[in-house]
Amino acid sequence: MVQSFVRGSVFVFVLCFLLGLPAYPSALKQTADNPTATLKAIHADGVKHLSADQVISLAGLSVGSAVGKQDLQAAADRLVQTGLFSNVNYAFQSKDDGLYLTFKVVEAPRIPAYFDNIPWFSDGELADAIRKVLPFYDGTVPEGGATVDKVASILTDLIASRGMNTKVEYQVISNPLGDGTVQEFRIADVVLQIAKIEFGDPALASSKELRQHLGEVQGKTYSRMVIDLFLAEQVKPIYLQKGYLRAKLGPPEIRLSGDPNQKLPDHIPVFVPITPGPTYRWKGAQWSGNAALSGFTMNALIGVKDGEVANGMAIEAAWTRLQEEYGHRGYLEAKVEPVAEYDDQAHTVSYRINISEGRVYKFGKLVLTGMSPGGERRLRAAWPILSGDVFDKTKYEDILLKLQVHPEQIFVDLPVHYESVGHWLQTDAETGMVDVLLDFK
């Protein structure tokens, strides 16, 4: 007989009752509160990143032990509490020699671990310390649960080994260098400062532009996020403009000297390894899915000619211009999806760009809230798109800018009072109309 349970809820087997069978198979020894049987085998179904053995270890059961319903339920609860699983079921089969147990699990999504202000250890050292306790650690953790608590505890103990009594905290934040989220681990009660920041590429020392921005990080509170954002916003563009499209920046390192057993300094030097890689040249673009705009028009928007150094900043700006051009023509749902193709032998780059244009939208009506009658009349008079005309998103964004920065260009001498303007586009895919909603506060 096979019995199944789900995360703390026991399915009652009415059939056993109706047939007059015992509530538990014969292999379960009858005790007052928790009938038990010898656990003969454990299996795990549904695992993808974890191994079956790791699931079994996390469940806290071992073959050969005597287990009952409460023990099996407790094991399932332990798996849920780790945060590693979004769903845990289990089933067991009773035979003459004991119980055969199967966990049926669905692994929860994981996000990258991000170590913000723990500078005394490299990412590799932190990962090794975590894997000693959690062998399944692969650089990602769930958003919550006992696993994340355990990682924070491991890091706290590791820092304590350097003579610092502090606590590592964690929170889910937006990925500072990309899409999605990360699990940030940081020390809340220790303030460190960046004494200086040096780069692995000597050519950066001559960059006047970079020297002008170093004050944004040097002398500031140490934060890996601050440094990573500085690299992305101030350093990487220098390389992209020169065609170093695959330059590798970081991760930042802390290079301390002296006795590691002594108290760590409050001012720390930061070194950023840099590998520029080769300079790439432009080798053209291939377009698909476009009808409203020709390949010739879109190539002109990119503005980079074959054989020229592939200016990465100009190329990124071109995708934005292309998106804006579609918006200018009423294609509010157009998507531009570029894919780079690198030739590492010839050091060239070409792009395949897929365009999903969607439909053209026309302007319906303007809905205003929070504006005085006089102000509403002025705004409607200044509104640049007539009802029924193709909705020009460029004109729409231009009037939004005026409302927020230069309201006098719309209201002239009329006194109006608002601090912000909420704005929404309400599209109707069936009619191809779009209404504009503006809320003045």
| Amino acid letter for position 416 | V
State which of 187, 207, 223 marks the end of a domain.
187
Mean pLDDT, the chain, rounded, equals 88
DSSP state of 170: E
The predicted structure's pLDDT at residue 189: 81
Note the pTM of the prediction, 2 decimals. Answer: 0.76
Q: Say which CATH number the domain at 205 has.
A: 3.10.20
Last residue of a domain, one of 78, 107, 136: 107
Pair (171, 236) in one structural domain: no
pLDDT at 28 over 60: no
Of 356, 373, 396, the one marking the end of a domain is: 356
Burial track 285-318 (b if 16+ CB lie within 10 A, e otherwise):
bebeebeebeeeebbeebebeeeebbbbebbeeb
Same structural domain, 143 and 215: no
Residues 119 and 147 in one domain: yes
The pLDDT of residue 267 is 84
* Residues 7 and 90 occupy one common structural domain: yes
Highest mean pLDDT among 185-189, 298-302, 307-311: 307-311
Per the structure, the count of domains in the chain is 5
| Same domain? 306 vs 269 | no
Query: Are residue 9 and residue 26 in the same domain, yes or no?
Result: yes
Do residues 194 and 180 lie in contact, with contact meaning Cβ atoms separated by under 8 Å?
Answer: no
Residues 352 and 374 in one domain: no
Same structural domain, 257 and 324? no
User: How far from 7 is each of 25, 53, 57, 85, CA to CA, in Å?
Assistant: 21, 20, 17, 11
Q: Quote the CA–CA distance of 76 and 105 in Å, as a whole number.
A: 10
Residue 89: CATH number of its domain: 3.10.20.310
Q: Quick one: 80 and 18 in the same domain?
A: yes
C-alpha span between 275 and 244 (Å, rounded): 10
Q: What is the pLDDT of residue 165?
A: 83
Q: Looking at the structure, do residues 256 and 306 belong to the same domain, yes or no?
A: no
Task: List residues bridging with 426 in a β-sheet.
Answer: 435
DSSP reduced 3-state for 278: coil
Supply the range of the domain harboring residue 45. 2-107
CA separation for the pair 354, 150 (Å, rounded): 44
- Which pLDDT value is given to residue 15? 29
Q: Are 304 and 379 within one domain?
A: no
The pLDDT of 383-397, averaged and rounded, is 97
Q: Is the pLDDT of residue 24 over 80?
A: no
**Sheet with 111-115, side-by-side order of all strands:** 140-141, 111-115, 181-187, 168-174
